[in-house]
Amino acid sequence: MSNVGSRFALTLALVVGVGLTSATLAVSAPRLVEEGPGPIFDNFFVDIPPNFPVSGAINAIAASQTNPDLVYAGAVNGGVWKTTNATADPPSWSPLTDRRLPGLSINSLAISPVNPRILFAGTGSTSSFGFDGSPGFGVARSTDGGRSWSVLAQDTFSGRRINSVVPTTLDGGNVVLAATLLDQRPGSDVFVIPAGGVFRSTDMGDSFVRLSGDGSSGLPDQGVSSLVGDAGNRYRFYAAVPAGLFGAAGGEGIYRSDDGGVTWAAVNSGLPDLGSSLRILLAVHNNLSQRTNAVYAAVLTLAVPNLLGVFRSDNLGATWTTLGAPSDPLFPSGQELFQGSVAADPMDPNVVFIAGDFGGNWRGDASLLPGSPWTTVDFDAAHGTAPHPDSRAMVFDANGNLLQSSDGGLYRLVDPDNRLNQRQWVSVNGNIRPTEFHSVAYDPLSGIVFGGAQDTGVPIQPAPGEFTWVTLLSGDGGNVGVDNDQFAHPGTTIRYTGDGTRQIRCWEGLPPLDF
């Protein structure tokens, strides 16, 4: 959708019961009461009946590989959330970082392979509303499953958006890698060069050293858009260096490390000229029984159609083969700077899944080459279902199903390879509440709240205190307001909203609610 979004991405709250006497002001503070929404029903851009649910933008997912019910989600501007019943309908989510971190902008998430109770979160906003939120304040770490948090390496990562955080098994879990592409001066809208790169920690994230451009690591002095590990070899990692916002700098490519991220070498044979690349997204297949570990790279550019292609290597990046691109444009809305996702199938080394902004979800199968390897996994290919567009992350859960996050929340593709002919999309939103509002209004006559939200339209509370809201308008919500002039129109309020096309709508609000 368009770049209209939220200036504030906190769950909506109202101030209630505030007296105006000087004595009250001196001894008490306003009491905040949460109002939701979570979830929002009846959204036009979701095809998951019966309720067509959305929530808000989720940029990161960390799923347990042994327990399909344990999933963590990192919201664009809503903090970290946890569910222990992810396969339930609906699942129940709990916020983990409210009032526990200096900001709620979460860019990346990862569970430690050494201890499943250790969780790392890379901070920094990727909001569709001009990156509003925190530009990054460090790595957040929890050692107790998300109950408490420490903020690490704040000086190193201040103003850096951490798109990848990769804990390892090396040195008992003390080695942690991280990557950034876009760096920003705190309090400024100006992006700076050098734009990030690969960072390495040897003390479980307490401190990091930047490797890119240090003269000995082999990495160029450029930003990194994706950093992944190879589960089949704990010393092997891949880093993607695109041209980025500032154009080609000479070191663009895919880099591989075979010594735990200390030194790196370019592995680019068969890749096209990456001088126009904006982002490169990586994924690694790993199957221990088959000893296969194919690597996939999706190259995104600013030039239409925005996806230069998807490339595959079955020899650790020594050579790459193109899978081309799906038949439909993957990024028709032009949001390749912060949207798009790729995931390698854990069962089949030839299969990869990819999604963009409004271009749907696709399955690529390299075994079909030289013919087209791409088939859609939406609508008729998924029993008439499809998730909210604007994909941001994809991971597989312990059951082999595909979890995807987007500007509309979280969804699961059941039976993604359709081996059982049961492929369909289901909602995993449950009661998660990360909606990005940039405008809200309270109707005092009906006692309800509504607002303009980033990409989840104009949701409205159907009754006072109700957490489950419904969609009035889909798409990008706009500014909202209430005319409560009871002299001009007694017994009635007039509610106003703009939408992503800047049109102004109005309707009457009556007690009880009528809309």
Structure tokens at 239: 């880093």
pLDDT at 387 over 70: yes
pLDDT at 15: 37
In Å, how far from its chain's centre is CA 418? Answer: 25
* Claim to verify: residue 317 and residue 422 sit in the same structural domain: no
43 inside domain: no
Q: Among candidates 149, 147, 152, 148, which has minimal Cα distance to 136? A: 152
Structure tokens at 448: 């309800």
| Helices vs strands, H then E, count in the chain | 2, 39
- Using the 3D structure, point to which of 341, 376, 411 is the last residue of a domain: 376
For residues 191-216, give the mean pLDDT: 89
pLDDT at 1 over 50: no
Q: Among candidates 14, 187, 135, 129, which has minimal Cα distance to 479? A: 129
For residues 384-389, give the mean pLDDT: 97
- pTM equals 0.91
pLDDT at 248: 82
Beta bridge partners of residue 200, listed in sequence order: 177, 209
* Claim to verify: residue 447 and residue 417 sit in the same structural domain: no
185 inside domain: yes
pLDDT at 163 over 90: yes
Are 134 and 161 a contacting pair, CB within 8 Å? no
pLDDT at 187: 56
Question: Residue 125 is part of a domain; what is its CATH number?
Answer: 2.110.10
For residues 318-326, give the mean pLDDT: 97
390 inside domain: no
Structure tokens at 136: 């990054």
Beta strands 374-376 and 361-365, pairing class: antiparallel
For residues 392-413, give the mean pLDDT: 97
Q: Among candidates 180, 51, 49, 128, which has minimal Cα distance to 358? A: 128
* Claim to verify: residue 199 and residue 274 sit in the same structural domain: no
* Claim to verify: residue 238 and residue 363 sit in the same structural domain: yes
End-to-end CA distance of the chain: 25
386 inside domain: no
* Claim to verify: residue 21 and residue 90 sit in the same structural domain: no
* Claim to verify: residue 59 and residue 205 sit in the same structural domain: yes
Structure tokens at 498: 């703009």
pLDDT at 499: 63
For residues 322-328, give the mean pLDDT: 96
Give CA–CA dist 237/166, Å, rounded.
9
Q: Among candidates 105, 97, 243, 230, which has minimal Cα distance to 163? A: 105
pLDDT at 77: 95
Are 243 and 278 a contacting pair, CB within 8 Å? yes
pLDDT tens figures, 423-435: 999 999 999 999 9
Arithmetic mean of pLDDT over the chain: 89
Are 279 and 226 a contacting pair, CB within 8 Å? yes
Range of the domain at 70: 53-210+398-434
**Torsion angles phi and psi, residue 256, rounded to 5:** -120, 140
For residues 494-498, give the mean pLDDT: 85
> What percent of the chain lies above the pLDDT cut of 70?
88
pLDDT at 24 over 80: no
Q: Is 487 left (phi over 0), alpha (psi -120 to 50) or beta?
A: alpha
282 inside domain: yes
Q: Predicted confidence band at 86 (pLDDT cuts at 50, 70, 90)? A: very high
Are 53 and 93 a contacting pair, CB within 8 Å? no
pLDDT at 16 over 70: no
For residues 105-111, give the mean pLDDT: 98
Give CA–CA dist 217/205, Å, rounded.
19
393 inside domain: no
Measured from the Cβ of residue 268, the count of other Cβ atoms closer than 10 Å reads 19
pLDDT at 250 over 60: yes
* Claim to verify: residue 187 and residue 199 sit in the same structural domain: yes
Are 168 and 234 a contacting pair, CB within 8 Å? yes
pLDDT at 11: 46
* Claim to verify: residue 72 and residue 186 sit in the same structural domain: yes
278 inside domain: yes
- Please name the residue ranges forming H helices in 11-121: 22-27
46 inside domain: no
Calculated CA dihedral for residues 186, 118, 196, 337, nearest 10 degrees = -90
Structure tokens at 366: 């390299």
* Claim to verify: residue 194 and residue 238 sit in the same structural domain: no
- Number of folded domains in the chain? 3
* Claim to verify: residue 182 and residue 263 sit in the same structural domain: no
Are 1 and 474 a contacting pair, CB within 8 Å? no
pLDDT tens figures, 336-372: 988 999 999 999 999 999 999 999 999 999 999 999 9
pLDDT at 118 over 70: yes
pLDDT at 22 over 50: no
What is the number of residues in the chain? Answer: 515
pLDDT top residue among 194 and 453: 453
- Using the 3D structure, point to which of 384, 413, 434 is the last residue of a domain: 434
pLDDT at 438: 84
Q: ∠ at Cα 281 (232, 367), nearest 5°?
A: 65
* Claim to verify: residue 351 and residue 415 sit in the same structural domain: no
pLDDT at 110 over 70: yes
Q: Give the lowest-confidence range in 15-24, 153-162, 294-303, 462-471.
A: 15-24
Q: Which helix (H) or strand (E) holds 157?
A: helix 154-157
* Claim to verify: residue 340 and residue 441 sit in the same structural domain: no
Calculated CA dihedral for residues 42, 43, 44, 46, nearest 10 degrees = -110
pLDDT at 6: 33
